[in-house]
Amino acid sequence: MNKRILLGIDTNFSTTTQSAIRAVGDLFEPGTAFDIFLLHAIQSTHIITEYPGHFTEQYAFIPPTNEQKKHAEEVLKKARATLDQLGFDLKHIEMMTSIGSPAEEIVRVARERHVNLIVVGSRGDSWRDRLRRMLLGSTSRRVLQLASCPVMVVLPAPPLKAQELVPWYEQTIKNYLNEQSSVLTVLTAKEVVTQFPPPQKKTVGGQEIQAAERALEQLASKGLLCRREIQGEVHYIND
């Protein structure tokens, strides 16, 4: 019987989730016999109606919108595509969507599918993250409290050093080009830094733009992109 792993996928396919996926790739060989469940839980919404003078409350459940369902499918496809790039067999990857508290849904699905390991990301321990946990709670900590199987909590990657930016942008652009192989793609350095912010970077500036320019130039020198100057600005095309 194959081992089973459940990966929690968050709403924004954040660097936290991406780190969790890469951790699975680092720990397990792609040829290893196990199944991967990718779960995205859409936070449930309820309306509470109170009646003055009475001790009763009425709860009304609001189903997810079509936009929420579409977004859930998109982030799950991104997660599956990342695992595919890491060499995992798509036949053993199942995408799942549920409705409810993310932590409780992760634990529920793990029990129903007899999962051997849950993998979730953690947002880190900055003062912003601590404040967020205090106000909203922590999904990873709640999963640790409720789960009946082992749980691996993956911390986010530390901010990239200056010398790491160029190879990071180069690999990120290559991954993007692989995903868009059938589509004509035109990139500039400014578009790259806007579309692909480095891990744990809230803002980008001249350093990131220079690194993106060098990464694009290296990809052009390798024949993966064509360099074209259009109205005084350099563009890079995957044609």
Q: Please state the domain extents for the chain.
A: 3-154, 162-237
pLDDT at residue 213 is higher than 70: yes
Strand bridging mode 93-99 / 34-42? parallel
pLDDT at residue 51 tops 90? no
Is residue 6 within 8 A of residue 113, CB to CB? The reply is yes
CATH architecture of 162-237: Orthogonal Bundle (1.10)
- Residue 163 pLDDT: 83
Evaluate if residue 136 carries a pLDDT over 50.
no
Fold of the domain spanning 3-154: Rossmann fold (3.40.50)
Q: Is the pLDDT of residue 131 over 70?
A: no
pLDDT at position 36? 94
pLDDT at 204: 74
Residue 26 contacts residue 32 (beta carbons within 8 Å):
no
Per-residue pLDDT for 118 more than 90? yes
Report pLDDT for 53: 57
CA 122/CA 140 separation, integer angstroms: 6
Instruction: Tell me if the pTM is above 0.75.
Output: no
Looking at residue 159, what DSSP letter applies? P
Task: Give the model's pLDDT for residue 230.
Answer: 85
Using the predicted structure, report yes or no on whether residue 112 has a pLDDT greater than 90: yes
Task: Choose between 162 and 93: higher pLDDT.
Answer: 93
pLDDT digits (tens, 9 = 90+) for 11-36: 888 878 888 998 898 888 766 678 99
- Count the Cβ atoms, other than its own, within 10 Å of residue 45: 13
Tokens of 72: 């859930």
Q: What angle do CA 195, 200, 206 make, to 5 degrees?
A: 60
Within 8 A by CB and 6+ apart from 196, the residues are 169, 172, 173, 176
**What's the whole-number average pLDDT of the chain?**
83
